[in-house]
C-alpha cells in the first residue's frame, strides 16, 4: 500500500500524541518544546492542539511515519501560514514524505489560506535545508540565533504554493494589512514627541 496524508482531527489526538512524543524523544534539538513537557499534557490539551493547528500525518499500512503542522498567520514576513514540527521516522527519511505533505498543503492552499508558506530550519540541519530548497523554499533574511537552543542558529525560508500568482490585488492587500498594524504605532510615536 502507498503512503497517504491525513489531517489529524481532535478525535485522533492519540495518533498525534504518539508521533509527536516519539519525535521529541528522538530529535529533541529540532523542536521548541520537550518530551518532558508534552508527555504531561492531558487528553483535553492534545485535543486543543489538534483543533488549533492543522497537523498532517503520513501513514502507510496503519503506521504513522511523518508529521508536520501548519498554522495560519495574519502576517509574518509576508507568509500566510507557518509550517513547523516537521519530522519523519529515521527509517523513513528520504522516501518523499515531506513532499507528500507539501503536496497536501498546496492542494488546499487557497481554501486554507496556505498560499505563502514560511518556516524556520536549524542551520546545522543541512539535509533539511537541501530538501526544502528542492521543494521550492528560498532563504529569507539573515541567520538568527535560536533562543530555545543557545548553541544553534536558524534560517527563515519561504515559498509560494505552486500555481499561486502573487498578483497586484493580493500584494495591495498584504501591504494594507501591514500598514494597518504599523500606522497606529507611528501615530503614537508622533504624539509622544
**Quick check: 137 and 159 in contact, CB under 8 A?**
yes
User: What's the pLDDT score for residue 171?
Assistant: 59
Domain segments of the chain as ranges: 4-165
CA distances from 11 to 34, 43, 72 (A): 23, 10, 21
User: What's the pLDDT score for residue 183?
Assistant: 72
Per the DSSP assignment, residues forming a β-bridge with 119 are 157
- Fold classified for 4-165: Aminopeptidase (3.40.630)
User: What's the pLDDT score for residue 188?
Assistant: 76
Cα 191 to Cα 2: distance, rounded to the nearest angstrom: 62
For the chain (193 residues), the mean pLDDT of every run of 10, in chain order, is 93 97 92 92 96 96 96 79 94 94 93 91 90 94 81 90 66 67 73 74
Cα 122 to Cα 184: distance, rounded to the nearest angstrom: 34
Cα 86 to Cα 23: distance, rounded to the nearest angstrom: 9
pTM of the model: 0.81
Amino acid at each position: 500500500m502507498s503512503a497517504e496524508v491525513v489531517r489529524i482531527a481532535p478525535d485522533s489526538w492519540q495518533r498525534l500524541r504518539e508521533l509527536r512524543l516519539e519525535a521529541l524523544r528522538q530529535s529533541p534539538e529540532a523542536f521548541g518544546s520537550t518530551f518532558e513537557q508534552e508527555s504531561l499534557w492531558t487528553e483535553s490539551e492534545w485535543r486543543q492542539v489538534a483543533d488549533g493547528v492543522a497537523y498532517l500525518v503520513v501513514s502507510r499500512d496503519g503506521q504513522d511515519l511523518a508529521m508536520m503542522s501548519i498554522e495560519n498567520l495574519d502576517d509574518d514576513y509576508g507568509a500566510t501560514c507557518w509550517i513547523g514540527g516537521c519530522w519523519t521516522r529515521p527509517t523513513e527519511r528520504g522516501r518523499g514524505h515531506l513532499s507528500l505533505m507539501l503536496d497536501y498543503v498546496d492542494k488546499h492552499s487557497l481554501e486554507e489560506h496556505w498560499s505563502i508558506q514560511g518556516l524556520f530550519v536549524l542551520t546545522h540541519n543541512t539535509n533539511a535545508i537541501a530538501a526544502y530548497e528542492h521543494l521550492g523554499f528560498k532563504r529569507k533574511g539573515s541567520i538568527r540565533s535560536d533562543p530555545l537552543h543557545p548553541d544553534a542558529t536558524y534560517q527563515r525560508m519561504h515559498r509560494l504554493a505552486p500555481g499561486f500568482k502573487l498578483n497586484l490585488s493580493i500584494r495591495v492587500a498584504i501591504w494594507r494589512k501591514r500598514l494597518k498594524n504599523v500606522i497606529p504605532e507611528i501615530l503614537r510615536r508622533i504624539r509622544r514627541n
